[in-house]
Amino acid sequence: MSAVATDFGIDKALDALGLKEVNEGTSTGQDNFGDGAIIASYSPVDGALIGKVKTTTQADYDKVMKAATSAFTDFRTMPAPLRGELVRQFGDKLREVKEPLGKLVSYEMGKSYQEGLGEVQEMIDICDFAVGLSRQLHGLTMHSERPGHRMYEQYHPLGVVGIISAFNFPVAVWAWNTALAWICGDVCVWKPSEKTPLCGVACQNIIAEVLKDNDMPEGISCLINGDYKVGEMMTTDKRIPLISATGSTRMGKIVAATVGERLGKSLLELGGNNAIIVTPDADIKMTVIGAVFGAVGTAGQRCTSTRRLIIHDSIYDTVKKAIVDAYGQLRIGNPLDENNHVGPLIDKDAVKNYQSALDRVVAEGGNIVVEGGVLSGEGYESGCYVKPAIAEAKNDFEIVQHETFAPVLYLLKYSGDVTNAIDVQNGVNQGLSSAIMTNNLREAERFLSHAGSDCGIANVNIGTSGAEIGGAFGGEKDTGGGRESGSDAWKIYMRRQTNTINYTTELPLAQGIKFDL
């Protein structure tokens, strides 16, 4: 362990999560997770090697799928409330390890420790939600046009659910999917990001303990590691009826085409290019808090991160000054130090994309308001720390039309009424999260109307970043159209069946068709 890791108790966190072997940068010891090449996990916090995991070979994958399909045979017949009891126990285990798991998330991914704790809390929250839902997997009863008939619909488990998650939320997005899939009677095969493999191993250790305590088959929760080639094993596999994939739009289009070719189902959570509209009736203080956290939280590496600030020209200079002043107060450094606001980007490739975006916005005619740059020196040895930057730009700039997964915020100006701002907000290919800052009821309702925001998430007087478990999470257009977490998102993990029962001694046909023998 590095000095930074030792000072902030990472070694103790790894021990608590069953990852003791990684303390010296050796294998995790989880030999059942793969026999392929080694993935080494380096922390973007200090560049230190945390540990190594083995990737999944085709032979390993076939063993995993055999275990998963076998487990599903019995798991699907288990009453849903009993499946909910397993999820409840999992949630309790997460409560016990919230601090060490949050610390691992922070150290391996680079987000602040508070955000790491928040991510684990999301896992706990979705477990609580799923436990209640396990007693509410409802269908509908319909009136039949035929006398003496009853019609209703019910939902059945799908089978094996494949989960491909991204590095920026290395544990929560898996939990969103798997907690709901489990109470629906599905089993899960999870490929975490190759950039945060130890978070995946830690989660697998936690649920494996719950399954063992309840004498349940290991195949209910399976972990595989590797890059896109391992993901392709899942997307081409007809034994997996549903693939839930989180990542870039480019990746999502490949997944959708591959899964669609075999007529499978896809749940896609892809890129965002999220905006906050700031009207003349906005509360400036609230706007600054929402915009700054949205833009720099997780170092701009959230799919819901604020990329664009669309400001009315009458208050543009006032808002601009307030935002710039707030950026001057940001503290950038070790995310395990709770005095810091902003941690590192995930790796040096992300740093290159960040630098490229700043070069592009200038080349297209933009104006840098808050200078960016890569930080070096003591505390920044990993080479992954950058300065959150702000640029004045136009919505039709090519770089503004694309998502840059880094702390780069574009200031855009609008004039006239709020409909002009909404046009700018909607004028990108992505459609995940959106927000408006206003105390004008008409503007707020216009933003939320049929002709308002075209995003899956639309907020009033809060930012674009951060979502509660109770609501369905997801977006439209290039964001993929998927929905996870709350509301009725559980239905994607089940197959719908319509049933008709005839309790008479006759056999009338629908639509009045006569067929007498």
**Which residues does the annotation mark as catalytic?**
269, 303
**Taken in order 65, 67, 69, 71, is the CA torsion positive or negative?**
negative
Burial of 29 per CB tally in 10 Å (0-12, 13-18, 19+): middle
**Residue 237 to residue 262: CA distance in whole angstroms:** 9
% helix, strand, coil for the chain, step of 5: 40, 20, 40
Rounded to the nearest 5°, which phi and psi values hold at 487? 55, -130
Angle between helices 98-109 and 80-96 (to 10 degrees): 70
For residue 464, the one-letter residue type is T
Q: What is the DSSP letter of 371?
A: -
Q: For residue 190, give the H/E element and its range.
A: strand 187-191
Q: Which of 265, 185, 178 is nearest to 222 (CA)?
A: 178
Please list, in sequence order, all residues whose beta carbon lies within 8 angstroms of the beta carbon of residue 310, skipping any fewer than 6 positions away: 275, 276, 277, 278, 395, 412, 413, 414, 421, 424, 425
Q: How many Cα atoms occupy the beta-carbon half-sphere of 368 within 13 Å?
A: 16
Burial of 317 per CB tally in 10 Å (0-12, 13-18, 19+): exposed
Q: What is the DSSP letter of 215?
A: T
Please list, in sequence order, all residues whose beta carbon lies within 8 angstroms of the beta carbon of residue 512, skipping any fewer than 6 positions away: none
Beta strands 494-502 and 149-157: pairing type? antiparallel
**Residue 436 to residue 10: CA distance in whole angstroms:** 40
Q: Which of 75, 58, 73 is nearest to 236 (CA)?
A: 58
Q: What is the DSSP letter of 342?
A: B
Q: Which of helix, strand or coil describes residue 97?
A: coil
From edge to edge, which strands make up the β-sheet containing 433-437?
367-370, 389-392, 408-414, 306-312, 274-278, 433-437, 457-460
**Residue 500 to residue 141: CA distance in whole angstroms:** 10
Map tokens 């029962």 to a residue: 501
Distances (CA, A) of 42 to 56, 82, 197, 303, 426: 19, 39, 10, 23, 38
Q: How many Cα atoms occupy the beta-carbon half-sphere of 421 within 13 Å?
A: 29
